[in-house]
């Protein structure tokens, strides 16, 4: 079956989809995006994704291309037209089409909306059972990582660094030697006493929707959560470590820079959190 893509008001075969070469997303990465999971034809955590999208647009002074109600209709229609039972929808909003100039267009232009779908993206069951490796590299991104910008070249290079080193993910490390986040994930560790630690929200990390939901689930399950920076050494010497994202769920980390974490196997706290998140994911409503 040919996939269907939405481009600025039209549902068209993906192979025929195109955008204007003077779209500022293409020229300047002047846009934002969201990745939303689909489970049993339902959008998972749609409202939190929508709120984060709104914050990103507001921070870059980009207008919504349509109302939130219409956007939901677009996404649900795309799911139906692609018969997407499980997978992800990717939506990208850019400032729009204008003659190339670094400054915003003087005349008002309409922002652009493109939405695609994917049936893949989830890691294999083996990775959840065995855990994954991560490597670290110096933080080299701009200072507003809380904006989900389409400008992802440093993240791309970081993910490629992981691939070249036989790892699943790369963690960025700031000047204080604390871990900010992964190239496409949030970073976590588990300390003695089953204390779960993750970096607090701020301009230096993305407010992951899976991160947010996991904190809610953990607190409801009386699991202690501490939001503070942690160092590479602290992570290596932790009892457990894991990463979270829309596509990675709660992924155990058993090796950091070639050094074993804990027993070298997924720990009980990580597995418990993964179970809690999977229950939320499978029972999630789209509103």
33-47 pLDDT per residue, tens: 999 999 999 999 999
Q: What is the pLDDT of residue 2?
A: 67
Q: What is the mean pLDDT of the chain?
A: 95
- Please write the tens of the pLDDT for every residue from 141-153: 999 999 999 999 9
- Please write the tens of the pLDDT for every residue from 192-224: 999 999 999 999 999 999 999 999 999 999 999
pLDDT at residue 158 is higher than 50:
yes
Give the pLDDT band (50/70/90) at residue 121.
low
Domain positions in the chain are 4-118, 125-282
The CATH number of the structural domain formed by 125-282 is 3.20.10.10
C-beta separation of 273 from 217 below 8 A: yes
Q: What is the pLDDT of residue 68?
A: 94
How many helices (H) and strands (E) are present in the chain, helices listed first?
A: 8, 15
CATH 3.30.70.3270 fits 4-118, yes or no: no
Pick from 94, 262, 225, 136: nearest CA to 252: 262
List the structure tokens of 131.
Answer: 């855990």
Range 105-118 average pLDDT? 96
Range 60-70 average pLDDT? 97
Q: What is the pLDDT of residue 232?
A: 97
Give the pLDDT band (50/70/90) at residue 122.
confident
pLDDT at residue 72 is higher than 60:
yes
- The SS3 of residue 217 is helix
CA angle in degrees (0–180, nearest 5) for 280-188-144: 95
Catalytic residue among 148, 159, 219, 259: 148
Q: What is the pLDDT of residue 285?
A: 53
C-beta separation of 194 from 244 below 8 A: no
C-beta separation of 49 from 28 below 8 A: no
Sheet containing strand 31-39, strands side by side: 10-13, 4-7, 112-118, 87-94, 31-39, 42-43
Distance CA 252, CA 261 (A): 10
Domains 4-118 and 125-282 equal at CATH topology level: no
pTM for this entry:
0.95
List the structure tokens of 190.
Answer: 């588990």
Q: What is the pLDDT of residue 120?
A: 77
Range 246-261 average pLDDT? 97
pLDDT at residue 12 is higher than 90:
yes
Active site annotation includes 80? no
**In the chain, pLDDT over 70 holds for what percent of residues?**
98
Q: What is the pLDDT of residue 287?
A: 35
Distance CA 140, CA 240 (A): 26
Residues in the chain: 287
């Amino acid at each position: 079956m040919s996939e269907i893509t939405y481009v600025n008001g039209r549902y068209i075969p993906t192979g025929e989809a195109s955008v204007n070469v003077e779209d500022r997303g293409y020229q300047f990465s002047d846009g934002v995006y969201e990745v939303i999971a689909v489970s049993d034809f339902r959008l998972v955590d749609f409202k939190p994704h929508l709120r984060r999208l709104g914050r990103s647009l507001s921070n870059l002074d980009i207008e919504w291309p349509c109302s939130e109600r219409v956007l939901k209709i677009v996404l649900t229609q795309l799911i139906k037209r692609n018969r997407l039972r499980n997978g992800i929808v990717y939506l990208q909003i850019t400032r729009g089409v204008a003659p190339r100039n670094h400054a915003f267009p003087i005349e008002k232009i309409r922002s652009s909306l493109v939405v695609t779908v994917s049936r893949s993206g989830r890691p294999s069951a083996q990775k959840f059972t065995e855990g994954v490796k991560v490597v670290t590299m110096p933080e080299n991104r701009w200072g507003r990582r809380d904006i989900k910008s389409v400008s992802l070249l440093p993240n791309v290079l970081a993910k490629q660094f992981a691939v070249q080193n036989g790892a699943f993910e790369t963690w960025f490390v700031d000047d204080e030697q604390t871990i900010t986040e992964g190239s496409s994930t949030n970073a976590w560790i588990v300390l003695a006493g089953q204390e779960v630690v993750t970096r607090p929200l701020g301009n230096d990390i993305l407010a992951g929707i899976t991160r947010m939901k996991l904190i809610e689930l953990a607190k409801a399950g009386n699991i202690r959560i501490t939001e503070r920076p942690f160092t590479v050494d602290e992570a290596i010497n932790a009892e457990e470590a894991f990463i979270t994202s829309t596509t990675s769920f709660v992924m155990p980390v058993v090796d950091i820079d070639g050094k074993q974490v804990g027993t070298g196997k997924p720990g009980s706290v990580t597995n418990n959190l993964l179970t809690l998140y999977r229950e939320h994911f499978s029972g999630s409503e789209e509103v």
